[in-house]
Amino acid sequence: MLFRVHDQLFSQPGESLLLTTLMGLCLLREHRLTCDTTTSGHRAWMADRSEKERLAIETLIDISDLDQVDEPAEREVEVGTDQSDWEQSPPARHKPPRVSLRSAIRLASRSFGFMLEGNTNDLAFLLCCAPPQSRARIESMRQGGLLDILNGGGLGSMKPAVEEFSPEDTLNRWVMFDSDALFVNGPSRQSEELREACLRKNLPHHQLRRRAIENYLPESAIEEWASRGKTWEEKRIRAGKTREWKQLTGEQRWHLNVKKGFEGDRARFVRLKAKDQQRFQDFWASTPESKPALASGFDESIADLFAEGALARIDRSSLAQHGVLEEMDSVVEQLMRLLR
């Protein structure tokens, strides 16, 4: 996050310790900080610092300014008001947000958070999609305590959690969730309500275009899963499911209930509005009847393949071949901007 510090703070003696605290946090937690270093207020404040402090602060500002030229930060706040935008009545809506020095310190001390429906397979999916440099950055930030993976607990739990986010939370969060779509451009009501909640909160997010993360598994991973049957009969059944899956159109693969199959959608179909039932029937046509092996789906744990990565024959090359990166490259790029 970039902190733009207003000049008047350097002329307020009571804020000197807090300013130093903010700068120390920026150094420690890899934030950026900039200010006008040519003013008399800033020069006088710097003159009161020790030589070691001056060197650290000058380095922080110089590196921040250079980084902003090469890779501008997605998240930015202006520091210098008595009250943060959200503390005013009515709340102000400046862009970038204006925050008090104390709010800035709280923001700088917090880890960024990815909120995912689950935390293991969803993160593994993201890492499989990320180029090596981006993957290394995510892993490094996690290990350094700069990035938290938040388990949303499923679509039903995520909306109320998002609605409870404070303004400071929304500056330090990103959310990804399933579309849960039964057919093209048909996200579920829960998914849409969550997306709308994110928009109301001005919260960065991504609603998957396909139904769920298992709908992004490449053919090589499905074939690997099929080969892992423990008995001849299990391998035969898995081979039948794989063969019928390959016969689906691309869009049907993207919206199949991979875990539970066509039978798993029966109860939900009954609850659909008449127009959506018709859309479902038009999209799938006679597919359920002609693909009996897919009636029960693949496996409840098939998304675990993402955690295996190369062992499950999943890499960026196989994902690109199946159109996954057409969507996910831009998602990963957004994440990298948010993590600056």
Rounded mean pLDDT of 68-78?
95
The whole-number average pLDDT for the span 174-193 is 96
For the chain, the average pLDDT equals 95
pLDDT in tens, 293-311: 999 999 999 999 999 988 8
Residue pair 195/114 in contact by the 8 Å Cβ criterion:
no
DSSP 111: P
Asked if residue 204 has pLDDT above 90, the reply is: yes
- Residue 70: Cβ within 10 Å count: 7
Structure-block tokens of residue 57: 């602060």
* 87: confidence class by pLDDT, cuts 50, 70, 90: very high
Q: Which whole number is the average pLDDT over 12-21?
A: 92
Task: Return d(Cα 53, Cα 267) in angstroms, integer.
Answer: 65
User: Do 100 and 87 touch, CB atoms closer than 8 A?
Assistant: yes
CA distance 68 to 39: 21
Under the banding of pLDDT at 50, 70 and 90, the label for residue 286 is confident
Cβ contact 41:69 at 8 Å = no
232: Cβ–Cβ under 8 A, 6 or more apart, which residues?
none
3-state helix, strand, coil in the chain (%, to 5): 60, 10, 30
**C-alpha to C-alpha distance for 195 and 236, rounded to whole angstroms:** 41
Contacts of 192-199 spanning 24+ positions with Cβ under 8 A:
193/159, 194/155, 194/158, 194/159, 194/162, 197/159, 197/162, 197/163, 198/162
How many residues make up the chain in this entry?
340
Residue 247: other Cβ atoms inside 10 A: 13
- pLDDT at residue 202 in the model: 94
In percent, how much of the chain has pLDDT > 70?
100
Q: Quick one: pLDDT at residue 131?
A: 97
| Cβ neighbours, 10 Å, residue 330 | 11
Q: Distance between CA 234 and CA 330 in Å, rounded?
A: 39
In eight-state DSSP terms, residue 296 is T
What is the average per-residue pLDDT within 108-137? Answer: 95
Tally: H helices and E strands in the chain: 18, 8
**What residue type is 51 in one-letter code?**
E
- pLDDT of 322 reads 95
Which run of H or E residues covers position 308?
helix 305-308
The answer, yes or no, to whether residue 215 has pLDDT greater than 80, is yes
* CA 277 to each of CA 129, 182, 187, 257: distance values in angstroms, whole numbers, following the listed order: 33, 10, 13, 16
Give the separation between CA 234 and CA 224, rounded to whole angstroms. Answer: 13
Alpha-carbon distance of 119 to 213, in angstroms, equals: 12
What value does the mean pLDDT take over residues 42-68?
Answer: 96
pLDDT for position 289? 87
Residue 326 near residue 294 (C-beta atoms within 8 A): no
Record the pTM: 0.93
- Which amino acid, residue 228? R
pLDDT band at 19 (very low <50, low <70, confident <90, very high): very high
